Amino acid sequence: MKTCLVVDDSKVIRKVARHILETLNFRVTEAGDGREALDSCLACAPDVVLLDWNMPVMSGMDFLRALRDSAIASRPKVVFCTTENGMAHIRAAIEAGADEYVMKPFDRETLESKLQIVGMA
């Protein structure tokens, strides 16, 4: 069973994502900001991280940079999941090393499709 870490400051979004991911056979852990997400990556090495952009404490982008610079050995796939749907943001995410990008609002098919693309579903 693959593990997905859902990082979003909205409890509602985390719940929706968790529900979809569980039907796709993922084990799900949650984090409310980038800082918590880093800790969680150290603790439980998820296979994939579903990552919001704008969050308090540490943004998705800062998390991604920190993850890249960290000593965390098993590098998870990172799928942004955000309302930042402009071309500039998407390019910046790719440049920073994101593997895929989900534009909110999302549905089950979108999530499944993107997870398939990164080889996780």
Catalog residues that contact other proteins under the rule CB under 8 A: 85-87, 90-91, 94, 98, 100-103, 106-107, 109-110, 113-114, 117
- Judged by CB, which is closer to other proteins: 38, or 48? 48
Q: Least distance from C-beta 39 to other proteins, angstroms?
A: 27
| CA distance linking residue 72 with residue 69, whole number of Å | 9
Q: Least distance from C-beta 78 to other proteins, angstroms?
A: 11
Q: Least distance from C-beta 106 to other proteins, angstroms?
A: 8
Q: Least distance from C-beta 118 to other proteins, angstroms?
A: 9
- Judged by CB, which is closer to other proteins: 56, or 86? 86
- Judged by CB, which is closer to other proteins: 70, or 116? 116
CA proximity to 24, closest of 16, 32, 12: 16
| CA distance linking residue 39 with residue 109, whole number of Å | 29
- Judged by CB, which is closer to other proteins: 57, or 117? 117
Which two three-digit tokens encode residue 55? Answer: 């969050």
E strands of 1-121, at which residues? Answer: 2-7, 26-31, 48-51, 77-82, 100-103
Question: In DSSP terms, which residues pair with 48 in a beta bridge?
Answer: 4, 77
